[in-house]
Amino acid sequence: MTTVTNQSSPLADLSEPERACLALAWDALLAGTNPIGAVVADADGRIVASGRNSVYAPAHPTLISASRLAHAEVNALLRLAVDERHGSLRLVTSLEPCQMCTGAIRMATVGSLTFLGADPVNGTAWALKSGRYVNHRPVDVTGPRNDSVGRLASGLALAFVLGRNPGARFAAAYRERRPDLAAAAHRLIAAGALKMAAQRVTWERAAPPLLAAA
């Protein structure tokens, strides 16, 4: 995983955990799976755990892989100690978590969530503000970003789906609910995002043109 810190890039305004989850999302795309990355950071911003999506990726020694449960957030949260509570930790993810991952966030007892890109189809970050889990406090939620970074994170996720199945119901729902983010996905494809991933272009090289396209 290589993070990009070029001071002329919008990425320079992000925290290290935010940059890291984007780099992990690109790593996931290079592995042939959904481009989503996640890290867990402590109160000082130090990364203490990380994971990426591995749903369609081959078996991996340190990740849940080749399973519909192999989401980035789950792979990051699984690394936390089970005999501790983690209210001081923050999960940072490139895309708004789905229902499964919001449940995992609550059960893992992390206190905060930051997500960069909106998921208008499967995203359920709103559920984390509920106090219905016994002995679990509501989670502080920040996101999504409404800039090129947020559009890149959201657009990459849809671009991957369009590359696999342009007629997918997910894509149709995405276009209906957030046509602006769907347009960003098409711009990313036109800018060569999927071709760069197939050629295994590094995130350091891919990030500038993709941010410009988003």
Residue 60 is predicted with a pLDDT of 86
- The structure tokens listed for 1 are 């995983």
Per-block mean pLDDT, blocks of 10 residues, the chain (214 long):
51 94 98 97 98 94 93 97 95 97 94 97 90 71 96 98 95 97 98 98 96 96
| Per-residue model confidence (pLDDT) at position 4 | 44
Closest C-alpha among 157, 160, 193 to residue 32: 160
E strand or H helix at 27: helix 16-30
**Continuous segment of H or E residues that includes residue 209:** helix 203-213
Beta bridge mates, 51? 38
The Cα–Cα gap between 135 and 90 comes to 18
pTM for this structure?
A: 0.93
Rounded Cα distance, 21 and 114, in Å: 11
Cβ 114 vs Cβ 142: under 8 Å: yes
Do the Cβ atoms of 93 and 114 come closer than 8 Å? yes
Query: What does the pLDDT read at residue 137?
Result: 75
